[in-house]
């Protein structure tokens, strides 16, 4: 008959071995996801992200007064990413001077993620094109972004919406 100490030691050893095996499977699975993202960084953005943005519509910078003028603009909505570089945006814009918010969906939307988690998104929304720059944070569960809409010329200092926002995975 086995002593109680030997039975306990055997069970403890089996538990430790099982725990080590489960841990190694979990680590290899996580490493596999990381390796997939390194092969195609666009896979890091996949699914839907809710966002809230604020900025200026019709922004103009006065070099004399060093002030930005324009109507305050806010937008809430959902980005949807396919993990392959295609996206959609469904959002509601509310700008000072409007009687009601404007509900909009993208006509065109593509994105690129760099290996370091930064990226850009090109889209057309409400007939205007815009370029968004973003950085993935919080293990790709969030991204912070800024965008300039309504102009394709980076040197243009006016006539655009200047926006900053944070998006969170839903």
Q: How far apart are CA 100 and CA 121, in angstroms?
A: 27
Strand ranges in the chain using DSSP code E only, listed in sequence order: 46-62, 67-82, 87-95, 102-113, 118-125, 128-137, 142-149, 158-169
Instruction: Work out the percent of the chain whose per-residue pLDDT is above 70.
Output: 68
Structure confidence at residue 148 as a pLDDT band (50, 70, 90)? low
Average pLDDT over residues 99-105: 81
Can you tell me the mean pLDDT for 112-135?
Answer: 90
pTM recorded for the entire structure:
0.68
The residue written with tokens 């469904």 in the block is: 90
pLDDT at residue 126 tops 60 = yes
| Residue among 117, 114, 119 at smallest CA distance from 147 | 119
Question: Which residues fall within 8 angstroms of residue 33, CB to CB, at 6 or more apart?
Answer: none
Show the CA angle centred on residue 11, arms to residues 8 and 13, nearest 5°: 105
φ/ψ of 116, rounded to 5, equals -85, 0
Q: pLDDT per residue over 24-77, tens digit each?
A: 555 444 454 455 555 899 999 999 999 999 887 777 777 888 877 777 888 899
Q: How far apart are CA 30 and CA 32, in angstroms?
A: 5
Residues in CB range of 95: below 8 A, 6 or more apart = 57, 71, 72, 73, 74, 102
């Amino acid at each position: 008959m086995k002593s109680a100490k030997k039975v306990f030691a055997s069970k403890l050893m089996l538990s430790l071995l099982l725990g080590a095996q489960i841990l190694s499977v979990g680590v290899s699975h996580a490493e596999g996801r990381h390796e997939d993202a390194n092969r195609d960084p666009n896979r890091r953005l996949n699914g839907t992200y809710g966002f809230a943005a604020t900025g200026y519509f019709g922004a103009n910078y006065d070099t004399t007064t060093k002030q930005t003028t324009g109507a305050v603009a806010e937008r809430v909505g959902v980005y949807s990413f396919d993990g392959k570089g295609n996206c959609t945006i469904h959002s509601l814009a509310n700008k000072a001077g409007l009687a009601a918010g404007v509900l909009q969906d993208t006509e065109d939307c593509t994105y690129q993620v760099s290996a370091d988690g930064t990226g850009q998104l090109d889209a057309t929304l409400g007939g205007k094109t815009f370029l968004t720059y973003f950085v993935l944070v919080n293990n790709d569960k969030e991204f912070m972004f800024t965008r300039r809409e309504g102009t394709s010329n980076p040197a243009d200092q006016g006539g655009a919406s200047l926006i900053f926002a944070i998006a969170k995975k839903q």
